[in-house]
């Protein structure tokens, strides 16, 4: 049997893991939305868009600057931030709670 402290640590780890899964799935979906939207508005260029202002890379840079879909940029940034923050929290918690 687990004592009170061991049970609370186990519940905390399970909660962090569940939050990480939800955060990862939301990040994955938003990343797919961004990629599909960028493919839709970008021109196809066999040379990776060097010098083409409507290439995928140029449009992704415009997206990161906030010129394309600023509302999606906020959601996308928040999802990435939550995923990375939870990942680091799980790593730090596992290092601190290691026996």
Per-residue pLDDT of the chain (99 residues; tens, 9 = 90+): 567 777 777 788 888 889 889 999 999 999 999 999 999 998 877 666 667 888 888 899 999 999 999 999 999 999 999 999 988 988 888 888 776
Rounded Cα distance between 96 and 48, Å, is 45
Q: Is 99 exposed, middle or buried (0-12, 13-18, 19+ CB in 10 A)?
A: exposed
Residues 37, 90 contacting (CB under 8 angstroms): no
Report how far Cα 28 is from the mean position of its chain's Cα atoms. Answer: 7
Up-side HSE of residue 24: CA atoms within 13 Å toward CB?
8
């Amino acid at each position: 049997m687990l004592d009170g402290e061991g049970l609370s640590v186990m519940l905390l780890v399970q909660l962090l893991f569940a939050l990480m899964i939800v955060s990862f799935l939301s990040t994955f979906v938003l990343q797919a939305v961004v990629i599909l939207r960028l493919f839709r508005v970008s021109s196809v260029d066999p040379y990776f868009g060097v010098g083409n202002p409507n290439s995928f890379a140029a449009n992704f840079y415009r997206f990161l600057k906030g010129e394309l879909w600023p509302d999606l940029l906020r959601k996308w940034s928040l999802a990435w931030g939550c995923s990375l923050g939870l990942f680091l929290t799980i790593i730090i918690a596992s290092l601190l709670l290691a026996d």
